Amino acid sequence: MFFLLLFVSGFVVGLLSAFLGIGGGSIIVPVLTLLFHIPIHVAIATSLISVIFASSNASATYIRKGLTNLRLGLFLEIITTIFAIIGGIISVSVSEKYLFISFGSVLLITAYFYIRNIKRGDQEKLLNLRPDSKSFFSGKYYDERLNKEIHYVPINLFLTSTVSGIAGLLSGMLGIGGGVFKVPAMNLISKIPIKAATTTSNFMMTLTAAAASIVYLKTNLINPVIASFVVMGVFLGSNIGIRFFPKLKDSRIKILFTAFLIVIAFQMFYRGIR
């Protein structure tokens, strides 16, 4: 039962990574710590390894398909990493209780805006798609569902960069992924199509998790047996997700993302009030 649950947890993380461009720490860490009483640092190390496998597996495919905005991803990742380091430094002096509650509140607000956005129609009908306009961060990709090439020019990048910095700060302070902030920032603020936003976030996660896992590798906190079952699930889940993701409607991706935001929000509230 133990190994089966590890495999299933990894499978769900693989799907989430491929579909939504987010890490799986919010799933794997609670499963390992609450159900099996595995030390938190071993759980975090296992989560990071799973994210590396999930995001790199999906990211390679998405980059090859042209879905990922590499320039924007690298730019936002630099900002996220800098603030993650700052967050780690100041985490010892701030009460996590209020941070968790604030984090959950912001996620619920974000979910509300997504729900409003979904009711207005699919993403492709609302974006500032300007094939004749160019910027350093502009992008394009072939949408398999719509059977056409999508061009987009990101707007309000200063605000999106600010949100990425906040996401990095919270990641460093609470040890949680920033994808739940970066994807909405790119999609809702900079008007980047949801498919490009999630795949770009996926690419960023690969870099973040790889850098963070170095510390755990050096301290021998990775349990090879636990990690192997999680990674097997991740590999299967991400491959299934990669196959179906390009054909999903934008609105369905946003519905899945909104549901995930709500689940994580209540998890943050629980951790803040217990």
User: Across residues 88-108, what is the average pLDDT?
Assistant: 73
Report pLDDT digits (tens) over 102-137: 778 878 888 887 787 665 554 444 444 555 556 788
- The pLDDT-based confidence of 219 (bands split at 50, 70, 90) is low
Tokens of 226: 């636990």
Report pLDDT digits (tens) over 21-48: 776 666 777 777 777 777 777 777 777 7
Say what the pLDDT of residue 75 is.
93
Q: Are the CB atoms for 208 and 81 separated by under 8 Å?
A: yes
Q: Which of 213, 18, 20, 16 is nearest to 28 (CA)?
A: 16
142 has which bridge partners?
A: 149
Q: Which of 19, 250, 244 is nearest to 117 (CA)?
A: 250
**pLDDT for 213 beyond 90:** no
Say which residue, 42 or 91, is predicted with more confidence.
42
Q: Which of 261, 250, 22 is nearest to 127 (CA)?
A: 250
Q: Which helix (H) or strand (E) holds 174?
A: helix 157-174
Helices H / strands E in the chain, number of each: 10, 2
Residue 73: count of CB within 10 angstroms of its CB: 25
Model-level pTM? 0.79
